[in-house]
Structure 1
Amino acid sequence: MMYLSVKPDLPTVEDVLPYLRQIHSNARYSNFGPLSTELEAGLLSAFGSADTAERCVCVSNATSGLTAALLAAGVNGKVAVPAFTFPASLGAVCSAGATPVIFDVSIDKWAFDEIIIEDILKSENISAVMIVEAFGILTNIENLIRMCLSHGVKVIIDSAAGLGVRRTGRVVHPDVFEIFSMHATKPLGIGEGGCVFMHNSRVSNFRAAINFALPVHQDHTVYWGFNGKMSEYHAAVGLAQLRRRHVLLQQRQGVVTRYIEQIKLLDGLIFSREVAASPWQFFPIRLPDEQTTESFVDLAAQKGVEIRRYYRPSLASMYQNFAHNSCLSSEQLSKTMCALPVRSGNAIAEMDEIIDAVLDSLKGAMNYA
């Protein structure tokens, strides 16, 4: 038996059935239907900031949310994208008709920091910066956001795996959008879907962007769009899942707490200790070097545990024509980062065996007695 790195945990059929009956009764299946609207309100209440100007809009998936945010913000020039991220980040920029410019990240933060952002704004004529919250670990990025806004640059926050915890350090502003995934593999998964938090002044443009630029009003600045709406069926799963959010979060954060208590005894591993900062799709750790990483992955596989590698290879390797530089930090991270499995729901019973196998494999790879 192989324990997969990521295992979906969705509501039961019984949990979703009442909402499916509502869909049948409403005879409304898409196009910003009542369940989708209810889910938006629920997500805003659960995870929104204290700013009353903030709104939430559901989308068909997080990638469409990234693209629509760029369209709604009127971005048509260069967009700075970190080299250490999932390829969808770059794909969304291309889909919006903008030009990605790939930059390196901080090897310590696994993401952009103030120095890198400053270099980006000085070295390129940038229209927007895509700040990626690596692995869904939400950090205080208020300074980064304000730095971009002070230069008239839009901010797109890719927090794909971060839906499930309160957002900190967020600036609610017409030029700031934050996007989350609700893919089946995410902590608050619904199958396919996503949501986007934004300033209320951008909602009309954003909805137009995910609805073929319809309806056309004089106050719209979006002149083309695509079909990025969430169906009522996915919203039904989302509403059922939202009711489970406290238990899911408690279980997943509990697993990460157990990991930290064990692996903090091993020298040479780098990982986040901010348990409350993420709903934890998985638990990312950085190993000392590529050889140790490869050995760990192999040993874990022999014990029946899949260890995935994120984000590998880096975007600078995959799309060299868009790379601003060689992105050495991102390359090193892509060779040494691993995702440890995290479970919730019925599958949480697997964690004892998984953690034991992970620890034995780490010790073996790092030559512990």
Structure 2
Amino acid sequence: MGVTVNKPGICTTIQDLGRRGYLGSGFSPSGVMDKRAARIANLLVDNGENAPVLEFCLAGPTLRFTTNTCIALTGGNFSPTVDGAAIPMYAAIMVHRGSVLEFGAPKTGVYGYLAIAGGSIAVPKVMGSASTNLKCGIGGWEGRTLSAGDYLPFVTKNVEFLDNLGSHALKDDDFYDFSSDEIVLRVVPGPQEGMFTEQGVNTFFKETYTTTAKCDRMGFRLDGPEIETVNGSDIISDGIALGAVQIPNHGRPIIMLADRQTTGGYAKIGTVASVDIPKLVQCKPGRAIRFEEISVQEAQAACRKEAQEMRSLAKVVKRPCYGGVSPRRTARRLTPILEAQAKKSAGNKLWIEFEDGHNAAHAGDRA
């Protein structure tokens, strides 16, 4: 019971939300590049938000399922099809034994995510995470990208009924703003902001930069005006957070991402708010980016707002929808409730008295 990889796609790996607590030992967190998309994918198939997902980049894999299950696809739109028929994004979709899932070129975005009901791909956790660390060769599926012929087992789940099955209510294009030529990333200044001249800081926050083809899971290099330093940008290596904006000696930003090194020797002018990282990683080369300065408190408020949004999405997908309710399944779900009510009623005095009177009346009839 699982899925067979017919074609691996480009850099298809198993990821969850990342490996925590090992930066001090030199292990990067890894994990999905777009946490928002991965969380929503798992939400749609009733998985925990940290369940493993398949992440693919630029070109999706071709997969054949060996059992019936339910899947959800989020992130970039790779024109997915099942057995040649187009299927929607951001929806729980039934697939059957022998079904083949394929993808086309991405219409929007760069990274796509596949979640499978029942907890998704069953792989052992390494240091508390199922994420693939490609540099260290640990986690995920044998610590590597998927290859043709791989067979990935997953935990099957009774998917005869899912509250959100068939719901197409979740559309996230407004968040990513794919139709816009420019996106705005919110940045908390520091920790080495003082190493840049006032003109350099103004350049960073007021000028426009563009994404380049020099990008991967480790970081995104941007092109644009040079950011002026006071006396160079070399520092004694220190820790690097997700979204840290390093400025090497050439003066152009590098934004550090999931597979970043744990320490680095270039000054950091700021850190991109974590809630905006998904917007960045879904940018194709050549897209314009502007930076907006915010405070730590504003970044924290943005995180709280996103958490509330996810709770609201959970309520949406838990609401039964047309076509998702099976009368037979509903009857089975109601049976224990009705039985419990019947047992409770058996101890009700009025009900007992009614039964006693009814029996007595019948006894008199028989006499």
Between structures 1 and 2, the one with greater helix share: 1
TM-score (norm 2): 0.23
Q: Select the structure with the greater relative contact order (CA < 8 A; seq sep ≥ 6).
A: 1
Between Structure 1 and Structure 2, whose CA radius of gyration is higher? 2
TM-score (norm 1): 0.23
